[in-house]
């Protein structure tokens, strides 16, 4: 297994490169500052990402150890590859799975490929914040009976969770493995003041998007397992879905991070304490802070997120006026992602929060209607004939594609779901307000969409 990936890359860079990629490690004009030298391919001395036997196998072993996992698979396809490969390897083709209604679209993609019958577990749409809160345990209980896999999003985009340990226990009582999509929870467990890592809370499989909250290059991720062994199908699905041209600069950034993580807390303990002071500071200035409220109600909240209530677009405009860019702009909120590397100190927070306030009241966009009846599984909707119709004719029809308002980026209608008259009106209202709905093509009279014929 031998030396580190970085050493192997440095050695390989000293040779005349007569192989892909086409820049051969030589900085092209205008490319200064980019990691050309590290951009290698799977040549002698490096390794194969889909069948690691040398430096990448060593790196995967060190990554597993740094997270307290038994095995780690390295991803240069974000958390999307871990979610899809983990799901398809675990739940047999055509089986029943239980999945969070707030799941990322990679879960939907796996559900189509795996031809699953999906029991969607609904979260709670909060009228005031106009965003999704995690589903209560009771909503999972019935969905778990007879399922072959449960997939939960922990934490949510805004850093909220209920107890993953209770969900894992509920699954294990029924012999259902729990796959936690912790794309936003790579840093959990690194220090007191952060929630424990989801593996330590009983998850069987975990997907991380490393770049979301940790200093690692975009498009890096991990799949982790604990004591539970998903068997050879995981290797097979990983290989089927992986790129055969992995990026070594991305892998080298994973190695840098794994070394840092094994050495200490990366400043997270002090950061977690400081962020709770920032929550207090924001509240003193008149803001409602989602994470602080969630924690006060007994939930688990991530200090790396700060969600303020108010007219999201207006808050974002003020923030940009102060020279900062938010992570996401909600209808009634603004979410920032921070961490020890963000370089924010109390004085900068004070200036920023004072400049944002007083909170502009949110415009109300109406209660999100309850989901319509699920008529077809996502794969059945995919295989059916599709027809384009006007939104005004949509009530009673079954959606062929997801209809996803941005924000919050979670489908209001899933493929295979019946579109109710209330949902049609709500979508029309979104369009009139100039809000973007993915899957709804703009046009006269509210636009058009694809339905199952
Ligand atoms: C909950 C969740 N899971 C998975 C993903 C996919 O991660 P990536 O974009 O790194 O592939 C995302 C991305 O936003 C996400 O929010």
- Residue 9 Cα to ligand 1 midpoint, Å, equals 28
Q: Is the pLDDT of residue 411 over 80?
A: yes
Query: For residue range 137-152, what is the model confidence (pLDDT) as tens digits?
Result: 999 999 999 999 999 9
How distant, in Å, are the alpha carbons of 205, 253, 331, 439, 443 from that of 404? 27, 33, 14, 7, 17
14-23, 281-290, 397-406: range with lowest mean pLDDT: 14-23
Q: Is 81 in the pocket of ligand 1 (CB under 6 A)?
A: no
* 403 pLDDT above the threshold of 90: yes
Mean pLDDT of the chain: 94
Please check the confidence at residue 99 and state whether its pLDDT lies above 70: yes
N-term to C-term CA, the chain = 55
- What is the rounded CA–CA span in Å between residue 58 and residue 133? 39
Q: Over 90: is that where the pLDDT of 236 sits? A: yes
pLDDT tier at 21, thresholds 50, 70, 90: confident
Ligand 1 centroid vs 206 CA: distance in angstroms?
13
Query: 180: Cβ below 6 Å to ligand 1?
Result: no
pLDDT at 390: 97
Pick from 183, 216, 221 the residue to mutate for probing ligand 1's pocket: most ligand atoms within 8 Å of its CB: 183
The residues, ordered by sequence, that sit 6+ positions from 272 with a Cβ below 8 Å of its Cβ are 191, 192, 193, 194, 303
341-356 pLDDT per residue, tens = 888 899 999 999 999 9
| CA dist., res. 419 & res. 376, Å (int) | 12
Ligand 1, atom 7, lies closest to the CA of: 79
In the chain, what's the furthest Cα-to-Cα distance?
A: 66
Share of the chain above pLDDT 90, in %: 83
Residue of 80, 132, 243, 254 to test ligand 1 pocket, by largest number of atoms within 8 Å of CB: 80
Instruction: Report phi then psi at 333, rounded to 5.
Output: -160, 165
pLDDT at 433 over 90: no
Q: In terms of Cα–Cα distance, which of 61, 65, 111 is closest to 90?
A: 111
Q: What's the pLDDT at 435? A: 80
Structure tokens given for 318: 């003020």
Exposure letters 234-260 (e unless 16+ CB within 10 A, then b): beebbeebbeeebbbbbbbbbbebbee
Q: Convert the pLDDT of each residue in 43-56 to its tens digit.
A: 999 999 989 999 99
pLDDT over 90 at 288, yes or no: yes
Question: Whose Cα sits closest to atom 10 in ligand 1?
Answer: 78
**Mutational test site, ligand 1, from 106, 107, 160, max ligand atoms within 8 Å of CB:** 106
Instruction: Compute and round to an integer the Cα radius of gyration of the chain.
Output: 23
Q: What is the pLDDT of residue 2?
A: 63
Map residue 451 onto helix, strand or coil: strand
Instruction: Report pLDDT digits (tens) over 118-176.
Output: 999 999 999 999 999 999 999 999 999 999 999 999 999 999 999 999 999 999 999 99
Asked if the model's pLDDT at residue 431 lies above 90, the reply is no
Instruction: List, in sequence order, every residue forming a beta bridge with 300; answer none if it has no partner.
Output: 161
Please give the pLDDT value at position 1. 59
pLDDT of residue 27: 80
Predicted pLDDT at 432: 82
**Neighbour tally for 295: CB within 10 Å:** 17
Report the separation in Å between the CA atom of 420 and the middle of ligand 1, taken as the mean of its atom positions.
Answer: 29
Q: 123 CA to middle of ligand 1, Å?
A: 18
Q: Is residue 169 packed enough to be buried (19+ CB in 10 Å), middle (13-18) or exposed (0-12)?
A: middle
- Quote the pLDDT of residue 434: 78
| Percent of all residues in the chain with a pLDDT value above 70, rounded to a whole number | 100
**Does the pLDDT of residue 408 top 80, yes or no?**
no
């Amino acid at each position: 297994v031998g030396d580190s990936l970085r050493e192997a890359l440095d050695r390989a860079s000293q040779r005349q490169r007569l192989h892909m990629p086409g820049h051969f490690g030589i900085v092209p004009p205008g490319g200064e500052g980019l990691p050309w030298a590290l951009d290698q391919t799977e040549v002698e001395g490096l390794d194969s990402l889909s069948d690691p036997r040398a430096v990448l196998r060593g790196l995967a072993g060190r990554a597993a150890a740094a997270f307290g996992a038994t095995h780690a698979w390295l991803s240069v396809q974000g958390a999307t590859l871990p979610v899809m490969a983990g799901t398809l390897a675990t739940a047999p083709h055509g089986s029943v799975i239980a999945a969070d209604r707030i799941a990322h679209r990679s879960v939907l993609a796996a559900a189509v490929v795996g031809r699953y019958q999906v029991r969607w577990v609904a979260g709670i749409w909060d009228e005031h914040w106009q965003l999704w809160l995690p589903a209560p345990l009771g909503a999972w209980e019935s969905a778990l009976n007879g399922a072959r896999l449960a997939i939960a999003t922990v934490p949510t985009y805004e850093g909220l969770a209920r107890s993953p340990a209770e969900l894992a226990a509920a699954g294990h009582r029924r012999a259902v493995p729990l796959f936690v999509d912790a794309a936003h929870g790579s840093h959990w467990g690194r220090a007191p003041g952060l929630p424990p890592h989801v593996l330590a809370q009983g998850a069987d499989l975990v997907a991380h998007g490393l770049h979301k909250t940790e200093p690692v290059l975009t498009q890096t991720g991990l799949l982790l397992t604990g004591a539970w062994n998903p068997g050879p199908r995981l290797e097979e699905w990983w290989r089927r879905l992986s790129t055969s041209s992995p990026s070594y600069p991305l892998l080298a950034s994973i190695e840098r991070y794994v070394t840092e993580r094994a050495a200490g807390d990366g400043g997270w303990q002090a950061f977690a304490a400081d962020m709770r002071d920032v929550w207090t500071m924001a509240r003193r200035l008149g803001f409602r802070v989602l994470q602080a409220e969630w924690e006060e109600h007994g939930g688990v909240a991530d200090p790396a997120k700060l969600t303020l209530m108010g007219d999201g677009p207006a808050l974002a405009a003020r923030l940009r006026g102060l020279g900062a860019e938010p992570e996401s702009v909600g209808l009634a909120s603004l979410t920032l992602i921070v961490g020890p590397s963000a370089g924010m100190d109390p004085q900068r927070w004070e200036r920023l929060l004072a400049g944002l306030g007083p909170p502009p009241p949110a415009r109300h966009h109406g209660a999100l209607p309850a989901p319509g009846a699920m008529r077809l599984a996502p794969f059945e909707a995919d295989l059916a004939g599709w027809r384009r119709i006007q939104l005004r004719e949509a009530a009673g029809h079954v959606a062929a594609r997801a209809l996803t308002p941005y924000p919050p980026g979670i489908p209001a209608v899933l493929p295979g779901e019946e579109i109710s008259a209330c949902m049609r009106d709500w979508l029309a209202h979104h369009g009139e307000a100039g809000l973007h709905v993915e899957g709804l093509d703009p046009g006269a009279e509210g636009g058009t969409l694809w339905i199952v014929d």
